[in-house]
Amino acid sequence: MRLAAVVAHRERGWQRDVIVFDLGLGGACVEGSDVLGVGDRVQVSFVTADRWDPLQIAARVAWTSPQRVGLAFEYASPEATWGIFELLVSGAR
């Protein structure tokens, strides 16, 4: 599954469009960014045709490689968990 998303680093004041290569309830693998380090906290926003508003999930960078970054989701509410579940079930159309 490939899905478009936006990763924002609020502490550093930037955001970038990314491609999600792998998505699960625990996190996501996104295209790499040389500006992220393990432990960085970011906000991931998913925009799909099925949602009126973007689904925003807090995440922590779990690992990095030259091409990809692993993000571990930090759910703030059951609704956020449900939103990721809906994305997975719908196949992120």
Task: Give the model's pLDDT for residue 87.
Answer: 81
Task: Give the model's pLDDT for residue 93.
Answer: 46
Instruction: Specify the length of the chain in residues.
Output: 93
Per-residue b or e along 12-28, where b marks 16 or more CB atoms closer than 10 Å to that residue's CB: eeeeeebebeebeeebb
Task: Give the model's pLDDT for residue 92.
Answer: 55
> Which of residues 26 and 84 earns the better pLDDT score?
26
Q: What is the pLDDT of residues 23-81, one digit of tens each?
A: 999 999 999 766 889 999 999 998 776 767 888 999 999 999 988 999 999 988 888 88
What topology is assigned to 3-90 in CATH? Answer: Thrombin, subunit H (2.40.10)
Q: What DSSP assignment string belongs to 36-93?
A: --TT-EEEEEE--TT-SS-EEEEEEEEEE-SSEEEEEEE-SSHHHHHHHHHHHHHT--
Question: Where does the pLDDT of residue 8 fall: very low under 50, low under 70, confident under 90, or very high at 90 and above?
Answer: very high
